[in-house]
Amino acid sequence: MYPYKTLFDFTKSVFERIGLKEEEARQAADILMRAELRNISTHGLMRLPEYINLWKNRRITITPDYRVVHQTPSTALVDGGKGLGLVTAPKAMRLAIEKAKTAGTGWVAVRNSYHYGIAGYYAMMALKEDMIGISMTNANPLVAPTFGLHGMLGTNPIAVAIPTHRQPPFVADFATAPIARGKLDVMEEKGKTPPEGLLQDETGMPTTNPGILKRNGALLTLGGSLQTGGHKGFCLTAVVDILSAVLPGANFGPMVVPTLGYVKDKTGSEDKGIGHFFGAIRIDAFQTAEDFKAYMDSWIEAFRNAETIPGQEKVIIPGDPEREAEKINMEKGIALSVNTLYKLKRISEELEIPFI
Amino acid sequence: MYPYKTLFDFTKSVFERIGLKEEEARQAADILMRAELRNISTHGLMRLPEYINLWKNRRITITPDYRVVHQTPSTALVDGGKGLGLVTAPKAMRLAIEKAKTAGTGWVAVRNSYHYGIAGYYAMMALKEDMIGISMTNANPLVAPTFGLHGMLGTNPIAVAIPTHRQPPFVADFATAPIARGKLDVMEEKGKTPPEGLLQDETGMPTTNPGILKRNGALLTLGGSLQTGGHKGFCLTAVVDILSAVLPGANFGPMVVPTLGYVKDKTGSEDKGIGHFFGAIRIDAFQTAEDFKAYMDSWIEAFRNAETIPGQEKVIIPGDPEREAEKINMEKGIALSVNTLYKLKRISEELEIPFI
């Protein structure tokens, strides 16, 4: 178990060493560490080498020309200037929140950015303003559209954070694919087998091989086959791709230039990057925040107290497991996998930053 | 096969007979007939008796007090005053479009409304304005949250319509549950069996009985069980419920007063109804409509021309099957099931409106 502060300080130092300003490094470290605290380790420190590789390969710029290209009272188009997503995305979400203060809602589409960590981080930024926060992004093409042979869409997450009064906030933060790539990696490492109906091999046949993405296989969409609603999952993942990438003019779906070695080179342009879409909705643009938050409490209570199927204790409210993990991990420290530990030690040696 | 105009005129006459003004009746008939044209017959004329029953039972008002309760530059809260959803919803969507003209985006949440037909109708209203249209609604509680025993959420659809240049528009219009209630009814009638993993019985055990919803069973969420991503489907359906119902102050999830005889009476209030949420996003609030629409064409072409799995001809672009059906049905006429035909004849007799 590693104390939060030790890991935070190390991560911040890494980002400072590659040239980020202190405040930017703090912001970037906060996003990765928030993932660790919330037990979303697939988006935590194990990703640090990916960010460093983007920098080494000059796919990102440390001093980007961040520009608001166009705006209206409730919208803005941001060009991230090839900057690190972890620095660009919080700025863009803050802009959405500022817009919402005067226009009621704020919507910011970002192009020319890179992997931004957990979607939920940005959605949750809206909570303290009594706003609903929305965040989505496109990503490496790993998901096949219904009937498609190849991965053409990212696991494109959506996060929605909703303020409450007595109850803790509702925070949904989910990849729109049925299972995360990181989880498949862990299954492969441990020799485990994912359920049927989630993956296909390079010929389009169903498979349960968790390493299939590295062998030109693909994830199916949420819902699986057409018979079980997979085309609805395709619609959903497609909408995230269009809002995040087509709307701002980033690389969409199959054009995304991959950050994963095993994804075949795609046709996208290096100066379009990937895209994000952020929203902030002021509660009192509809009803008083007080009334809404009390009503939202009763929504949560209805589901929290719902009768369950045999063998299950409760209906899980989106955000509950992550918030509980955050509390425990902050107190007791964070567990790192052998693999992540090894990666961090290599970074420590390479960048000459003492680790622990 | 029945000519479009014959069915449209009949439907319009029915709505006029229950007291709607000519223009309102035309609007309501247009929405139901659009569903028939698009082969979404579960939301077409077979629903006409439901609307009439709402009127007979005084659950809706023919001359509602439609009110914009609160607004900001980009938002409005509408109280439908217990009016027919087919009349209230188009007004609310038009308001979202008007807001978008000046604020860049427009977002309207509606309470105290009733079943509004196909979600896609409203999303598509934005297309001719060069806007992205969004529409969602909550509905009769039939979907169990992950680990829940009872139906607590509607099949809560989302529709997103996106403008294009040479290509036909992208129109995703999908229930967030894996299969529509209407499709289960048809399977039951024909003695067919739905795939495994979509339904549970009153004790929470998996079942493939298509009539199980009438026997206290429930639909699972999109994605099915926790292992195959069903909790993501729960998040999605929950977000639709919260934006459509908690935000405007309508009956949410399990409180929805059902329009289906076999759903046990819920606890909601008659003067809150169900809720809808509409959005309109002006394309040129981000980039020029011309640039976006050309880029969106290339998105569609990439997926339309994608390599497919064996045995499948093409990747289906959201909106294509419905648009093709619309063309054919307009030319060749609309097929009605024996069941729907019977319902229409009863209405014809009861309201003394000649049918065919």
Q: Is the pLDDT of residue A119 over 70?
A: yes
Q: Which residues of B touch A105 (CB under 8 A)?
A: 72, 74-75, 105, 107
Q: What is the DSSP string of B77-144?
A: EEE-TT--HHHHHHHHHHHHHHHHHHHSEEEEEEEEE---S-HHHHHHHTGGGTEEEEEEE--SS-BP
Task: Could you list the beta-strand ranges (E) of chain A.
Answer: 67-72, 75-79, 105-113, 131-137, 157-162, 170-175, 199-200, 206-207, 218-219, 274-282
From A50-64, B49-63, B249-263, the region with the lowest mean pLDDT = B249-263
Which pLDDT score, from 0 to 100, does residue B259 have?
Answer: 75
Which pLDDT score, from 0 to 100, does residue A264 have?
Answer: 63
Averaged confidence pLDDT in chain A: 95
For the segment B269-279, the average pLDDT, to the nearest whole number, is 92
Q: State the ipTM, two decimals.
A: 0.97
* Domain boundaries of chain B, sorted by first residue: 1-57+319-356, 62-178+227-289, 183-219, 290-317
Q: Give the CATH class of B62-178+227-289.
A: alpha beta
CATH number for the segment(s) B1-57+319-356: 1.10.1530.10
Nearest CB partner across the interface for B222, out of A223, A242, A310:
A223
Q: Is the pLDDT of residue A251 over 80?
A: yes
Q: Is the pLDDT of residue A86 over 80?
A: yes
Which pLDDT score, from 0 to 100, does residue A109 have?
Answer: 98
Nearest CB partner across the interface for A254, out of B292, B302, B318:
B302
For the segment A115-144, the average pLDDT, to the nearest whole number, is 97
For the segment A345-356, the average pLDDT, to the nearest whole number, is 93
At which residue do the structure tokens 């339904």 appear?
Answer: B199
Whether residue A169 contacts residue A178, with contact meaning beta carbons closer than 8 Å, is answered with no
**CA dist., res. B282 & res. A105, Å (int):** 14
- At residue A269 the predicted structure's pLDDT band, cuts being 50, 70 and 90, is confident
Could you give the count of Cα atoms lying within 13 Å of B212 in the half-sphere of its Cβ?
A: 24
Interface probe, candidates B79, B235, B251, chain A, greatest A C-beta count within 10 A: B235
Angle, vertex CA B19, rays to CA B18 and CA B22, nearest 5? 115
Residues 283-342 of chain B with CB under 8 A from chain A are 283, 285-287, 291-292, 295-296, 299, 302-303, 306-310, 312, 314-316, 318
Q: Is the pLDDT of residue A259 over 80?
A: no
Residue A159 burial (10 A CB sphere; 0-12, 13-18, 19+)? buried
Contact A303 B247 (CB under 8 A): no
In the three-class reduction of DSSP (H, G, I as helix; E, B as strand; rest coil), residue B293 is classed as: helix
Q: Is the pLDDT of residue A304 over 90?
A: yes
Is A216 within 8 Å of chain B by CB? no
For the segment A325-350, the average pLDDT, to the nearest whole number, is 95
- At residue A185 the predicted structure's pLDDT band, cuts being 50, 70 and 90, is confident
Facing residues of B172 across strands? B160
Which pLDDT score, from 0 to 100, does residue B112 have?
Answer: 96
Whether residue B277 contacts residue B107, with contact meaning beta carbons closer than 8 Å, is answered with yes
Does pTM surpass 0.90?
yes
- In angstroms, the separation between the Cα of residue B134 and the nearest Cα of chain A is 11
> CA quadruple B153, B145, B178, A155: dihedral positive or negative?
positive
Could you give the count of Cα atoms lying within 13 Å of B94 in the half-sphere of its Cβ?
A: 7
CATH number for the segment(s) A63-178+226-318: 3.30.1370.60
Whether residue B106 contacts residue B98, with contact meaning beta carbons closer than 8 Å, is answered with yes
**CA dist., res. B308 & res. B64, Å (int):** 51
Tell me the pLDDT tens digit for each residue of B115-127: 999 999 999 999 9
Which pLDDT score, from 0 to 100, does residue B266 have?
Answer: 63
CATH number for the segment(s) A180-219: 3.30.60.50
Q: Is the pLDDT of residue A262 over 90?
A: no
For the segment A196-207, the average pLDDT, to the nearest whole number, is 96
- At residue A265 the predicted structure's pLDDT band, cuts being 50, 70 and 90, is low
CATH number for the segment(s) A1-57+333-356: 1.10.1530.10
Q: Which residues of A touch B146 (CB under 8 A)?
A: 315-316
Which pLDDT score, from 0 to 100, does residue A271 have?
Answer: 81
The token pair that represents B61 in the structure block: 């008002």
Averaged confidence pLDDT in chain B: 95
B216: left (phi over 0), alpha (psi -120 to 50) or beta: left
Can you say how many angstroms the Cα of residue B34 is from the centroid of all Cα atoms in its chain? 12
Quote the crossing angle between the two packed helices A22-37 and A4-17, to the nearest 10°: 140
For the segment B179-189, the average pLDDT, to the nearest whole number, is 86
Whether residue B118 contacts residue B34, with contact meaning beta carbons closer than 8 Å, is answered with yes
Which pLDDT score, from 0 to 100, does residue B48 have?
Answer: 95
Can you say how many angstroms the Cα of residue B123 is from the centroid of all Cα atoms in its chain? 10
Facing residues of B334 across strands? B2
**CA dist., res. A86 & res. A91, Å (int):** 9
The token pair that represents A305 in the structure block: 């107290």
Higher pLDDT, A180 or A324: A324
Which pLDDT score, from 0 to 100, does residue B264 have?
Answer: 64
- At residue B185 the predicted structure's pLDDT band, cuts being 50, 70 and 90, is confident
Which pLDDT score, from 0 to 100, does residue A258 have?
Answer: 80
| Strand A75-79, strand A105-113: pairing | parallel
Is B236 within 8 Å of chain A by CB? yes
Q: Which CATH superfamily is domain B183-219 in?
A: Hypothetical oxidoreductase yiak; domain 3 (3.30.60.50)
- In angstroms, the separation between the Cα of residue A3 and the nearest Cα of chain B is 31
- In angstroms, the separation between the Cα of residue B352 and the nearest Cα of chain A is 41
Q: What is the DSSP string of A78-136?
A: EE-TT--HHHHHHHHHHHHHHHHHHHSEEEEEEEEE---S-HHHHHHTTGGGTEEEEEE
Tell me the pLDDT tens digit for each residue of A145-171: 999 999 999 999 999 999 999 999 999
Q: Is the pLDDT of residue A276 over 70?
A: yes
The chain A residue lying nearest B178, using CA atoms, is A229
**CA dist., res. A202 & res. B324, Å (int):** 31
